[in-house]
Amino acid sequence: PRHYRIVSLPGEGIGPEVVDATLAVLQQVAQLHSFTVAVEYGWLGQPAVQRFGRAFPQETARQCEGCDGIVLGAVTQGLLEIRQHFNLFINLRPVRPTPCLFPASALKSERLAGVDILFVRELASGIYFGESGRGNDSGSGYGYHTMRYADAEIRRIAKAALNQAQQRRHKLTVAHKENALPQIPWTALVHEEARDFPNILVEPMLADNLAMQLILKPQQFDVVLAGNLFGDILSDIGGALTGSIGLLGSASLNGQGFGLYEPIHGTAPDIAGKGIANPLGAIASIVLMLQQWGETTAAQQILDTQETLLSQGYCTADLCSQRSQTQVTTQEFTDLFLENLRQNNS
């Protein structure tokens, strides 16, 4: 039988809660679809600092080496280090609002119908990793972060985004800010790479306008490519479209298909330990992992189950806005999820 080894890095805040739920779902679909997943636990973020004195210790790096996927909860530190260590430059963030949650979004339902966006965010370079520092100019302190992109870094993420568009609706919108930052030529480089993809429409769009368009007319987008910082900001708009950032998952991949899978949300210290966190963002991330593995029927079964439960009105506190809904805890939602997976398989 197919056998996978993953490393789970639960992290901090609500991270461990949503990872617990997600791994239970993963083991259930593994059983139902005849593959096995061996899970090792590792240290990242605050717990790693306490134990090893570093947010991303060597021990964790070695443990993750050669595994089939890293399942991350949420951390406040160590994230940029692990992304860079494994050269995870491709960050995929799908956003597909489901009709049963349209009321949870601030946007009108007619603007949400049919929205299906894939954000492709460059994750291993740009201003997050440029030269930075603090200095002092005649008694007045200052700080700086530098946005730097090698042309080759733009080309490789452009190729990844074009490949995604090829498998979708053949449109690629490129976020840029060349009216103010002309030295980083996203538009020209993506157009060059797109010569190998003649059936894909490449549309450059200023990042500020793109933010507005995502709210005004999200249906116009298929794949949205953005650098590290713009991609971070723009993809959070996905939380406004779907109704909660708690629903969104992501895959962070190197060029060879090795990946780290994490929800887009943070550690949410305000609700940590209360058992009310939404596990669907973390679950959406392992759907991406299963798709990456080629376990597509298992991935689809998870998506179907999510749809069933949400349409029956079950949801965690972040999504409960209507009387017709039933607010459940993380644990209750997970139990319902497992039960539904088993029922739909027999």
Catalytic residues: 128, 177, 208, 232, 236
Enumerate residues 6+ apart whose C-beta is below 8 A from 102.
109, 112, 113, 243
Query: Which C-beta is closer to ligand IPM: that of 12 or that of 193?
Result: 12
Least Cβ distance, residue 79 to ligand IPM (angstroms): 5
Least Cβ distance, residue 171 to ligand IPM (angstroms): 24
Binders of ligand IPM among 212-251, rule CB under 6 A?
A: 232
- Taking the C-alpha atoms of residue 340 and residue 337, their distance in angstroms, rounded to an integer, is 5
Among 19, 29, 79, 101, binds ligand IPM (CB under 6 A): 79
Query: Which C-beta is closer to ligand IPM: that of 24 or that of 229?
Result: 229
232 is an interface residue for Mn ion by CB under 5 A: yes
Q: Which letter does DSSP use for residue 270 in this model?
A: T
Planar angle of CA 110, 114, 120, nearest 5 degrees: 120
Residue 79 contact partner, candidates ligand IPM, Mn ion, none, CB within 5 to 8 A by sort of partner: ligand IPM
Query: Which C-beta is closer to ligand IPM: that of 202 or that of 264?
Result: 264
Q: Of 7, 1, 14, which Cα lies nearest the Cα of 289?
A: 7
- Taking the C-alpha atoms of residue 115 and residue 119, their distance in angstroms, rounded to an integer, is 13
Enumerate residues 6+ apart whose C-beta is below 8 A from 53.
none
Query: Which C-beta is closer to ligand IPM: that of 237 or that of 264?
Result: 264
Query: Which C-beta is closer to Mn ion: that of 57 or that of 231?
Result: 231
Least Cβ distance, residue 173 to Mn ion (angstroms): 19
122 is an interface residue for ligand IPM by CB under 6 A: no
Handedness of CA 152, 158, 164, 167 (dihedral sign): negative
Instruction: Report the residue closest to ligand IPM, judged by CB.
Output: 232
Query: Which C-beta is closer to ligand IPM: that of 210 or that of 264?
Result: 264
The pattern of x and - marking residues 184 through 223 that bind Mn ion according to CB under 5 A reads ----------------------------------------
Binding segment for Mn ion (CB under 5 A), chosen from 69-77, 203-211, 225-233, 238-246, is 225-233
Burial track 206-229 (b if 16+ CB lie within 10 A, e otherwise): ebeebbebbeeebeebbbbbbbbb
At residue 199, the 3 state secondary structure works out as coil
Instruction: Judge contact between 224 and 117, C-beta under 8 A.
Output: yes
Among 55, 264, 271, 282, binds ligand IPM (CB under 6 A): 264
Task: Read off the tokens for 184.
Answer: 């980083």
Instruction: Report the residue closest to Mn ion, judged by CB.
Output: 232
Least Cβ distance, residue 5 to ligand IPM (angstroms): 24
90 is an interface residue for ligand IPM by CB under 6 A: no
E-only strand ranges, the chain: 2-11, 35-41, 69-74, 90-95, 117-122, 132-137, 140-145, 171-176, 201-206, 223-226, 249-253, 259-263, 314-315, 326-327
Positions touching Mn ion (CB under 5 A) are 232
Positions touching ligand IPM (CB under 6 A) are 79, 232, 264, 266
